[in-house]
């Protein structure tokens, strides 16, 4: 049986390491802003997590403002 988000009761995709609390993707990002703290429940969300991690670490606008790097 899939876990449920403790906030909105949707199907959870992340759980806190060492805890039984689980969150859906949206709530996880809203709560923690960084899903690095969380454990993925579904492999499927791997791509999304990678994108979110990347955006957070790079400051999102890296691609759009290449000229600023010079
Ligand atoms: Zn939720």
Which percentage of the chain shows pLDDT scores above 90?
24
Determine the distance separating the centroid of ligand 1 and the alpha carbon of 9, expressed in angstroms. 6
Determine the distance separating the centroid of ligand 1 and the alpha carbon of 58, expressed in angstroms. 26
- Contact present, 35 and 14 (Cβ < 8 Å): yes
Domain boundaries, the chain: 14-63
- Contact present, 44 and 21 (Cβ < 8 Å): no
User: Half-sphere exposure of residue 58, counting CA atoms within 13 Å on the CB side?
Assistant: 14
Collapse the DSSP code of 63 into the 3-class scheme (helix H, G, I; strand E, B; otherwise coil) and give the result.
Answer: coil
Q: What is the pTM of this model?
A: 0.52
CB-proximal residues (5 Å) to ion ligand 1:
5, 7-8, 10, 24, 27
Determine the distance separating the centroid of ligand 1 and the alpha carbon of 11, expressed in angstroms. 8
- Contact present, 23 and 13 (Cβ < 8 Å): yes
Is residue 24 over pLDDT 90? yes
Strands (E), 1-70: 14-16, 22-23, 38-40
């Amino acid at each position: 049986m899939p876990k449920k988000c403790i906030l909105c009761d949707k199907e959870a995709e992340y759980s806190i390491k060492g805890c039984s609390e689980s969150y859906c993707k949206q709530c996880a990002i809203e709560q923690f802003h960084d899903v690095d703290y969380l454990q993925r429940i579904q492999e499927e969300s791997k791509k999304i997590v990678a994108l979110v991690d990347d955006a957070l670490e790079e400051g999102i606008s890296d691609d759009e403002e290449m000229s600023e790097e010079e």
